[in-house]
């Protein structure tokens, strides 16, 4: 998609930028930096914290401009044929995991696998792979993973949100009248709200159905989360020394994330925690 839009084969396309991390690791910021931000923080950073401008500076090198369009929220950690109790359980694990996150789990001995959606189920069923992540309950249910890998882990720390973009050929964008540019931006904004609200509505009942069909919810143990977090930060520190785009995006996102969580911890977390405790009483 990035190449097709950049070279003018198509004038516009919708895609997730982290697919192109092999061209430049900085593209992962366009979709979800592992251990990055959630969906609300993402759109706030993009629209008001300079993230959109920094990503478009990266996209300019590929003859494109982009606007956030849609978001699927925080992802699940995936389906596992066996329980993950310690960091050692990750060693040698053949894990279908997309893109940049694979470089992180590989530091812990996991063997990342790239498989298309239709190939995941038979690979899990045959034991060709040991685990697979996809999206979340609504999308995972359609593919039937619970029938062949019963342990359903959370959270998908590699995608605190799933952020797609509308990419537009840069010369074609510049040719558009301002009113048409505004129409595309407005439609992209509406797609963002529509998609996230849809997933927030359909994921809860899908999760309940999965559990009723035998899926066993498991949180990743704290030592596993911390080991992955440390491995990610080692990679980020290294990339920041060699990749100017990555450095600029990282130095923009991380301070914003810290400030944002200070606020969310006060109001949102307090409210959510109380309401979650009270939900069985109404």
pLDDT tens figures, 9-47: 999 999 999 999 999 999 999 999 999 999 999 999 999
Q: Which domain holds residue 109?
A: 78-154
Q: Is there a domain that residue 148 lies in?
A: yes
Q: In what order do the strands lie in the sheet with 12-15?
A: 12-15, 165-169, 64-68
Instruction: Identify the band that residue 145 occupies on the pLDDT scale cut at 50, 70 and 90.
Output: very high
Q: Answer yes or no: is 185 within a domain.
A: no
Query: pLDDT at residue 282 above 80?
Result: no
Instruction: Tell me how far the alpha carbon of residue 128 is from its chain's centroid.
Output: 25
Pairing verdict, β 111-113 and 78-80? unpaired
Question: What is the number of structural domains in the chain?
Answer: 1
Q: Is residue 205 part of a domain?
A: no
Note the pLDDT of residue 99: 79
The answer to whether residue 263 is domain-embedded is no
Q: What is the CATH number of the domain that holds 107?
A: 3.40.190.10
Label residue 57 exposed, middle or buried (CB < 10 Å: 0-12, 13-18, 19+). Answer: middle
User: Does 269 fall in a domain?
Assistant: no
Q: Is residue 133 part of a domain?
A: yes
Residue 105 falls inside a structural domain: yes
| Residue 143 pLDDT class (50, 70, 90 cuts) | very high
In a domain, 58, yes or no: no
Rounded Cα gap, residues 55 and 65, in angstroms: 8
In this prediction, residue 128 has a pLDDT band, given cuts at 50, 70 and 90, of very high
Confidence of residue 98 (pLDDT cuts 50, 70, 90): confident
DSSP state of 220: P
């Amino acid at each position: 998609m990035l190449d097709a839009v950049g070279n003018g084969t198509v004038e516009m396309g919708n895609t997730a930028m982290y697919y192109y991390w092999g061209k430049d690791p900085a593209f992962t910021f366009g979709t979800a930096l592992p251990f990055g931000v959630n969906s609300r923080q993402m759109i706030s950073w993009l629209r008001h914290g300079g993230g959109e401008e920094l990503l478009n500076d990266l996209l300019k090198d590929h003859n494109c401009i982009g606007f956030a369009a849609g978001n699927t929220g925080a992802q699940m950690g995936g389906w596992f044929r066996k329980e993950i109790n310690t960091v050692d359980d990750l060693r040698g694990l053949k894990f279908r995991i997309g893109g940049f996150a694979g470089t992180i789990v590989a530091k812990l001995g996991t063997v990342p696998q790239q498989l298309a959606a239709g190939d995941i189920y038979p690979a899990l069923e045959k034991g060709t792979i040991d685990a697979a992540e996809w999206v979340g309950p609504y999308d995972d249910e359609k593919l039937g993973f619970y029938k062949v890998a019963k342990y359903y882990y959370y959270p998908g720390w590699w995608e605190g949100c799933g952020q797609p973009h509308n990419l537009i050929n840069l010369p074609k964008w510049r040719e558009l009248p301002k009113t048409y540019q505004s129409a595309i931006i407005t439609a992209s904004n509406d797609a963002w709200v529509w998609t996230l609200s849809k997933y927030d509505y359909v994921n809860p009942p899908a999760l309940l159905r999965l559990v009723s069909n035998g899926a066993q919810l498991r949180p990743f143990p704290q030592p596993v989360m911390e080991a992955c977090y440390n491995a990610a930060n080692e990679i980020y520190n290294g990339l920041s020394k060699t990749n100017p785009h990555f450095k600029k995006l990282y130095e923009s996102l991380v301070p914003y994330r810290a400030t944002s969580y200070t606020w969310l911890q006060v109001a949102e977390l307090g409210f959510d925690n109380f309401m979650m405790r009270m939900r069985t009483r109404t």
